[in-house]
Structure 1
Amino acid sequence: MKFNFLNLCKRSLMLPGIILLSLYLVPGEELEAQLWMPPGRQFMQPPDPFTFDAGVNKFNNDYYLYLAPTLNLNFGGEFGLSLTAPMNFLAYDQDPKDPTLKVGSIRKIDYDQKSDYLRLINNIWYGTYGLYKPGETTFSFYAGKLFDGYIGHGTIVNRYVNNQRIDIYNVGLMADFNNDYGGVQVFTNSVYTHEIGAARGYVRPFAIAFKLFDLFTGRSQLFGMLQLGQGNVADEAGRKKVYEEAGVDPEDREKYRALVEDQKTHQMREEMIPIEKKPESRKEKLKEFFNQDNFANRFSIGYTTAFDTKAPTQLSFDTTGRLRLDSNNNPLVEQSEKLVIQGMDAEYKLISTKYIEVTPYYDVNTIKILNSKGTHTGAMFRFGGKDIYAKIKPEYRNMDANYIPMYFDSFYELERYQANVNSQLPMTKLEAAKLMDPDAAKLKGYFTSVVFSFYRVSLEANYENYSGPNNSRIFVGLYFPIGSLFMISGYYTRKNFDQNKDAFKVDDNSVGAIEAALNLGFISIRVQDIRRWVYDSTSNSFVAQDEQKVLFSNSLSF
């Protein structure tokens, strides 16, 4: 990916209306970006309810005027949404010219099918995905652009990105609920097509067993009676509460007896102190610091099923060898099968405190159509609190030669149709997997993920490597604001390389995006380079296209 900042800036300055418009907007206080967000924070939104981007977008050597007014609503941090209307108007058509386009027309690939109108939805969310609070039932959903789609420990669906292609827009969905006895997670890449999805259900068997024991022995009824002991026996009969019958002052009921020093006589005397002013004992402070979950809630076992209802196994070509396309601009599929991956998992939180968490886990997955199996043995470590924390996840893998870990990953939207991106003859991912030798030697290797966050600065790095050639993958994500003046963010990932020196080689096996933003007070200047894919009829394959933008952004506060 190469930036041509100078040419882009020159052309953007030919659009004075953009700058004049921005002068009427109230300046934003912070720089924000959505190219990459740390895991679990993909719903982060600008603090202002209305933002506006305008600038120049270079695509396929043509220049477009880019406009994107956006509405951001956040209802108390528990529910929010972001709606936008991105538009690319042709400003300069370079050779070879398209006779069907005129200056000022909207780019054809943006709104040429019904599902494209879902571009209006950036995201709609409620709660926090994957959050479990002992003693409570939590629920969450997230619908919109997915940068970090996953299920369970991420051994089947991991880091799913549902909008790798420029010409197709998907609104994905992640939702879950969790309580002391178990929970459910669901995922789909598109609420419109529902072709790719996953679901995981898990239970906490010890917690369920103890609850059943309580019910059969009557302990739950006893506790229920104790809770009702001080309440009204029959309010409609006008009876007093138990502590009122005993003559206890209602205010004293919320107090406790303590010895305090008289300020005048310096003698110790007994007083009734409000319960909220009661100092915590050392034991209580340690309990708050460690905040261990009940041991019965720490062990869980789960079952996952993930699927592609129409996984392509053979594409359709015409008599000249050209790939046919359907009405949605996807490669026309000659044959397809339902791909199902099933998995069982178990985990136990050895340590679950306020600032430290250690959770070993074990996953066994099977790709049914290939009859291939893989095991994942790892542990999740978390250190720190809300603003400063580190998460580390090392994992060892042992799998059949034709097993593919993290089958639904960041590249799947492309590899579903073309796994061999460097070939002139596209072959689907499932088709290529069927050609693998199931009797070959097993593959063994490891996967390591590290996330570090220091207030608003975040860094993520993933690396995996297995025995055999071209079995390495790397991912790096960065979100680095410098005060409210400057910010850089982006991500880079590459797979199917062998030597470490090739890890950052930019080719068709790599995906990435980068943004640099400068806040000038009355306006923010943002420069972006986003690598995505589009089908190229000339090369008869999917090829990488870099969208390069210079944007002038601002926001409106109320």
Structure 2
Amino acid sequence: MRSRPPVALTAALVLTAALLGAPARVGARTQGDGSFDPPPAAGEVEPGRPDDALEPGGRQEDVEPRPGIDQGDSDPEVVPLGEEGSDIIPRQDALPPEGRADRPSLPRVGVDVLYPGAGVVGQGTAMISLNEAGEDLYLFLNMRAVFVGRNWAFGPRLPLRLRLVDHAPRTASVIRKEDWDEISDFARLLAFFQVGHPGEPYFLRFGELPGVTIGHGTMVNRYFNTIDIDHYQGGIYAYVDPGIIGAELLLDNVFDPDIFAVRAFLRPMNPLRGLPYALRKLKIAVTAGGDFQAPTEVAHDADGGILTDDDFHPRILSTSAMPFFGLDLELPLVSRPHADFVPYVDLNSIDVQGAGVHIGAYLTFRFDALKEWRLRLEYRYSGSHYEPDYINPFYEIQRVSYRRDGRTKLAWLRDGGPGVGRSGFYGETEFRWSGMMNYTLVFANDQGPDNTDLMMKLELPHLGPIRLGLFFARLDFDGIRDFFGANDTVFAASIRYNFLDRFYVRFRLVNDWWLEHTESGSSQYRTKTDFDFGFGLIIRL
């Protein structure tokens, strides 16, 4: 398959251009009537699954052109979605005087959720809903809150699913035990804790990581640590950039870590004030990390089904460390209040034997303090044992079951992976109108079979009393026919209607990943469509 730019990307650019004529609401705030719960990549997250808008990639923002958390906020319902309070950032009332080309990949978490005013802001919700998760129907009770200070925020919550209808395999438990059968599951009680704001020199987040990108996203791109509905993780993302040196860090799970990545960077000429801006802000970076317990063999039955233990977890027979290493160079050629242009080059190695080269650029247009249009375009060449965006939105599933041939992703890579070197194209575009709209499109295509990715996200947080979120992700497909394969597609649609200032109703339809439960103990990872419909109360604390 020849690499080519997508028609969808071109259409998105035309749509974005049409939107630029709309007047910006000066001073608009994203807080509204208690709408702190994340939209498409935002919403109340049920224990471990795609949020109101699933992002996932993907990239939380995060993900994304900016190293950091992407895709909106998600509460355990997650898949490409972020956490409640995921985009807690100060409102911008003016354009940056010197642009932002020195940090083209700023860490970010989803959509604007709260505007941190003076002192502490507190809002909460109490919700009751009917929720289908896996094979059963539940009464879902969810109490949560968000507390925000000038430089910190945290979101405690108590999500409980009480079984109403029990399909095979039967269970005696009223509370869904898969939500609480691992130590890391108790991280659900704290949706997130963060210090600092995305875009500032220091930022730290613990909890659900909706769409984390490290560096330019060439090895870790829009990673979601809670995409598996039955496996919740509380991870860490940190970003430090005081000026000359800096770093960013990812840890997937504090309680049982597997994935770790760190990127350290240096602006060697930053102290030399007489030099042009582009030379002073030139950035050299090193990235290292890996999946240090990557499965290499999983137990299967004679028919190829994944064998599970009594808690419906896959039986991993062997693991191995999968290290990765990269060097990159970033040159901010243009940094103005209304536009940035930042070319970059990445040279990476995965699992020691595979290598790849990425050449791309970030292009950002700021039309006013509230409207921003961002592009990232990239050419990449992948060696025979190299896979770009190796740790991606679906990685938590792929590391155990990849491309449905019985192998794990690492086993597939070590068996030859794609088999030959190939060229590819990556493009993403995002239009953000603060407090009003966020539209993201990601497309990637490499030569060879099963090498096309498409992700889309639309967030409309303030359509009068209505909040709307849509998310779609399809990875590793081959052609139009394969594109419509529901088994490998993640999507979410959420609509919430606020009324009487304090109440709301919400409906969500989600197709997300799940290791199906069977009485025989033989399962497969597949996507399943679930729903959630309920009523909530907004509480101002």
Common fold, TM-score beyond 0.5? yes
SS, match of residue 247 in structure 2: strand
How far does the alpha carbon of each residue in 1:518-554 deviate from its partner, in whole angstroms, 9 at most, with x for none?
A: 1222521111122333323455321223331002122
Q: Distance in 1 between matches of 2:417 and 2:212?
A: 30
Residue 180 (structure 2) pairs with residue 108 (structure 1): no
- What residue number does 1:176 align with? 239
SS, match of residue 433 in structure 1: helix
SS, match of residue 396 in structure 2: helix
Distance change in 2, residues 1:506/1:458 (3 Å): farther
- What residue number does 1:83 align with? 156
SS, match of residue 163 in structure 1: coil
- 2:61–2:212 CA contact under 8 A, matched in 1: no
Residue 491 (structure 2) pairs with residue 418 (structure 1): no
**Offset, 1:315:** 1.6
- What residue number does 2:222 align with? 159
- What residue number does 2:510 align with? 530
Distance change in 2, residues 1:63/1:479 (3 Å): same
**Offset, 1:31:** 7.2
**Offset, 1:38:** 5.0
Residue 258 (structure 2) pairs with residue 195 (structure 1): yes
- What residue number does 2:529 align with? 546
Q: Distance in 1 between matches of 2:171 and 2:283?
A: 61
Alignment of 1:233-382 (within 5 A): 294-317=277-300, 323-325=306-308, 329-369=312-352, 371-382=353-364
TM-score (norm 2): 0.75
How far does the alpha carbon of each residue in 1:464-498 deviate from its partner, in whole angstroms, 9 at most, with x for none?
A: 11111221100001101343311210311101222
- What residue number does 1:443 align with? 422
How far does the alpha carbon of each residue in 1:494-513 deviate from its partner, in whole angstroms, 9 at most, with x for none?
A: 0122224654x252221222
Q: Distance in 2 between matches of 1:442 and 1:497?
A: 19
Q: Distance in 1 between matches of 2:141 and 2:295?
A: 36
- 1:186–1:199 CA contact under 8 A, matched in 2: yes
Structure 1 unaligned blocks of 5 or more: 1-26, 133-137, 215-291
Residue 365 (structure 2) pairs with residue 383 (structure 1): yes
How far does the alpha carbon of each residue in 1:100-142 deviate from its partner, in whole angstroms, 9 at most, with x for none?
A: 24xxx2112111222211111111112234x36xxxxx21111
Distance change in 2, residues 1:321/1:556 (3 Å): closer
How far does the alpha carbon of each residue in 1:27-73 deviate from its partner, in whole angstroms, 9 at most, with x for none?
A: 94547431345535641365552111211102345321111100210
Q: 1:487 aligns with which of 442, 467, 474?
A: 467
Matching residue's letter, 1:51: T
Distance change in 2, residues 1:437/1:471 (3 Å): closer
Q: Distance in 1 between matches of 2:138 and 2:261?
A: 38
Count of residue pairs brought into register by the alignment: 435
Q: Say which is worse superposed, 33-42 or 478-487, in terms of deviation.
A: 33-42
SS, match of residue 86 in structure 1: strand
Residue 107 (structure 2) pairs with residue 128 (structure 1): no
Q: Say which is worse superposed, 47-56 or 163-172, in terms of deviation.
A: 47-56
Residue 44 (structure 2) pairs with residue 44 (structure 1): no
How far does the alpha carbon of each residue in 1:236-268 deviate from its partner, in whole angstroms, 9 at most, with x for none?
A: xxxxxxxxxxxxxxxxxxxxxxxxxxxxxxxxx
Q: Distance in 2 between matches of 1:428 and 1:61?
A: 25
Q: Which has the higher helix share?
A: 1
Aligned-pair Cα RMSD in Å: 2.6
Residue 139 (structure 2) pairs with residue 65 (structure 1): yes
Residue 479 (structure 2) pairs with residue 499 (structure 1): yes
User: Alignment identity in percent?
Assistant: 23
How far does the alpha carbon of each residue in 1:309-358 deviate from its partner, in whole angstroms, 9 at most, with x for none?
A: 11111123478976444587432222221100100000110011222111
TM-score (norm 1): 0.73
- What residue number does 1:517 align with? 496
Q: Distance in 2 between matches of 1:107 and 1:169?
A: 13
**Offset, 1:364:** 0.5
Distance change in 2, residues 1:321/1:459 (3 Å): closer
How far does the alpha carbon of each residue in 1:381-403 deviate from its partner, in whole angstroms, 9 at most, with x for none?
A: 11115410011000001111321
Residue 165 (structure 2) pairs with residue 92 (structure 1): yes
Matching residue's letter, 1:44: D
- 1:38–1:460 CA contact under 8 A, matched in 2: no
Distance change in 2, residues 1:429/1:61 (3 Å): closer
Q: Distance in 1 between matches of 2:400 and 2:523?
A: 12
Matching residue's letter, 2:397: L
**Offset, 1:196:** 0.5
Larger radius of gyration: 1
